[in-house]
Each structure stands twice: as structure tokens, then as C-alpha cells.
Amino acid sequence: MAPHYSSISIIQTEEEFKHFVDEFYQDKKKPKSFGVCRAELSRIESNKVVSVNFPLLNFEQNFGSFAVFATAARLQSFESNEIVVDIDSAFVLRALCLFYPFITKELIAYEPIDRGETILHGFKNLCEKFSTDPYSIKTADVLFTDSAIHQYIGAKHKNIQVVFELLRHISSIYKGENECYKFQLVAYFDDLQTQSLQVAYAKLHALSAGLTPLRSLNLDGIFGLLPNLAWSGNKPYELQYLRDNEISLKMEGEFPCIDFIDKFPRYLMQVLPQVDNIRILDSSKTRFGAFLGAGYTQMPGASYVNFNSGALGACMNEGRISSSVVVGEGTDIGGGASILGVLSGGNTTPISIGKNCLLGANSVTGISLGDSCIVDAGTTILAGSVVKINHDEAQKIAAINQNFVVQDNGLYKGYMLSGLHGVHFRFMTQNPCLIAFRSKRSINLNKDLH
């Protein structure tokens, strides 16, 4: 689609920019989240988006940049809760004119490098030409394809760096030469049930990047928005496309090496860990939408982390952290240990595991645990499990859990123990029964591993 060119005034100073932003929000809401994404297109249905990736997602911040993007996109109506708009070359040039005072400031600082003055002069000419005669702009007028400049510009304002990266692709944006992808502006205002695939990805990205806590966003209905895709590297393929073209793709030697088939991409396909001491030994075991805190280590084998779940800090994971499960710092999840999620199986209450807990190998935990709890290897504790606690041990547990009520008969359902601190669960084999007692063991992770 050819861009709709129209002139736009250059914002000359930072003070003018502040006035522009204040005026913009006089009658408009601030978005909860927004960003420019690369949208991968269907190979079957023209212009249908099947997946997206955000190089930078803004979450409850950088509202001035949204004012720029919305103005550059010529958005007139904000009645819908979600915004998904295709980006064209005119959008990029308008954004440059609106970001002008910040870009020129950085280009002036860039001048000690040989071509700085030439680049600054070229940028000013481009903006002035566009603002006075937008239809005269040609692809040849667009400069700044040097990657060193792109890395430098936007060091203080990452959204400007995004615009400069769009500038690299301005020919493709303008001519529509590449049919496999396009760029879009995505935003939403209130955390309502998600209506678009793009906003679904934005919410999952916010969770994985730690921009908002786990279980804090409305993810209802996202499964219906995400198509089931064959993923090869970071490239999605529709299964029907592969079936329809299997013979020709294989004859040409272009049939993709399929890594997995799922509605969700993998965590590392969309985000980088926030810190260097996060270790993921098998990238297939962490789904997009999971969050991994500093010091987290995920071993290969039975380990797994679903979306909207994860660990808040240093944690050894050799088991399964199911959907909506949140694990506290210092907890060790043993080989094959499973924490129940909320996607299937009847459990509707999200489970939290406290700090410094130990879940033994092949254990199953279906209730929340407080801090410093232990579930022995092979032990299953569910909401409906019957647990025996003798009177003395119950008194010790009550001493550190003020809401715990000691039962005269010594019998407790699992849900009655949910969230308690310092409880040790064990299955007795000699006289088969599930017991609990006050945990006396200190759980310490190997600091060298985290």
C-alpha cells in the first residue's frame, strides 16, 4: 500500500516537544503498553499476521514516544481499546520530524567521528524537505544505513533507535517488496480481554521481560488468537502451507527443518534474559510468557516453564513449573518434580511456592507452599489429600503460621495447609499415609551454580 504523504511541522526544541506531548494528552488516554513490532505474514492469506516480535516494548512508560508514534500514524480515533496500524515510510519520516530535537542533539555529539557533520546536515535536509514537500522524497534521499550510526543514535532514547532501524527498511516499507513481513504499531489502553494476536504477544512479552509481575495481566482467550505453527529457527510456517507445498519445497531442497509445532514461540526467540547469571540449558523447555529471575538455572531433561509462570530469583529447576505457577527465590525443584497449573486437570487456583523450598524428585505439589517448605521425593500433596499431623508438630507449625488452626483429630485436608510456612510433607511407606511436620532443614542453593 502506498503511504499517505502529508507534511508535518518539525519540532525544533525539547521545550516544543514537551508542549506537543502535553497538548496530545489533553484529550487522550495514556496507553498501558505500546511498541513497534515486526509482523510475520501468512503464506496462505495475504496480509494476515501469524506472529510478531517486539524489538522494544514500552510498558507504562515513554508516553512522549507514543504521542510521536500515534501522530506519525495519523491516528484520529482512540475509541478502540487496541491499536494495530501498519507502518509506512511516511510514518518513519513524520516520526523523525517529531523526534528532531533529540536526534540532532545526538548527531551533534556524534560529530567528532569523521562524518558527523555531514550526517547532521543530511538529516536536517531530509526533515526540512519532507516537512515542506513530502511528495518529493525518494528512497535515495534516505541516509543513515551505517549500523554504527544506528547503534549510537538512540542510546538515550530507544524508541528513536527503533525509528532509525525502520529507516533501514524504508524501501521495503514504501514499495511493499517483501511479502513475508511488515512493521506495525501496536498499543492497548486497558487490560481487558485480548482481541488481537499482536496485543497477545505484547502481553506475553511484558511478562517475560519482567515489565509487569506474573499473573498481573488478563490473558483470557489468547489461545484462540494464536495459530498453531511449525517453527524453524525463529521463522513460523503454517502447517497447511507446508502440506500444500510439500512436494515442491522438498524437490527444491527448501523444506524447513521444523524444530517444534506450537501456538507459542519459545522464550529465547522473543526476549533475552535480563541478567547474565540466568542459565537455560535447553531452550525448548521455556515458553514465551515465562519469567526467569536473576540466578535462575534450568537443567535439561524433565524441566519446563510454561507461560505466565516462572521463578522470581535464584532457583534450581529440574522439574515442571506449570502455567500460572510462581516460584520464590532460593527454591530447588528436583528432577521430575511437578507443580500443578491451571490450564487443565480441574485446578483453578494458581499455585505459589515460597522462598527456600525443596521439592524432591518426582514429587507432585498441588497446593501453595509458604517459605522454607519441603515435599519429599515421590510425595504427592494435593488440595484434597488427607494429611496426618501429630499434636506437637501442629503446635510448632501454628507458632509460625498465625492463621493455622490445630485440629483435635490430627487430620487435615491439603487445602487447609496451603500457603503455610515451614512445613515438611512426607509419605510413609511402612504404614502408608501422608504426614506433615515442622521443617527443621535449611534449604541452601549451591552459590557457585547461580
Residues marked active site are found at 318
Q: Which has the closest alpha carbon to 166: 234, 47, 248, 73?
A: 73
Is the distance from CB of 132 to CB of 126 less than 8 angstroms?
Answer: no
- Give every strand in the sheet of 326-327, ordered side by side: 291-292, 310-311, 326-327, 352-353
Is the distance from CB of 34 to CB of 185 less than 8 angstroms?
Answer: yes
Is the distance from CB of 95 to CB of 131 less than 8 angstroms?
Answer: no
Distances in whole angstroms, Cα of residue 341 to Cα of each of 324, 333, 380:
6, 15, 15
CA atoms of 435 and 47, how far apart (whole Å)? 59
Burial class (CB in 10 A: 0-12, 13-18, 19+), 397: buried
Burial 303-313 (b: 16+ CB within 10 A, else e): bbbbbbbbbbb
Cell for 341? 497449573
Rg (CA), the chain: 27
What DSSP letter does each residue of 76-92 carry, written as one string? ----SSEEEEE--HHHH
Handedness of CA 207, 211, 213, 215 (dihedral sign): negative
Cell for 280? 537455560
Task: Name the DSSP letter for residue 382.
Answer: -
For residue 15, what is the enclosing H or E element? helix 14-24
Contact partners, residue 419, CB within 8 Å, separation at least 6:
352, 367, 368, 369, 370
Q: How many CB atoms lie within 10 A of CB 26?
A: 6
Q: Beta strand pairing status for 229-232 and 235-238?
A: antiparallel
Q: In residues, how long is the chain?
A: 450
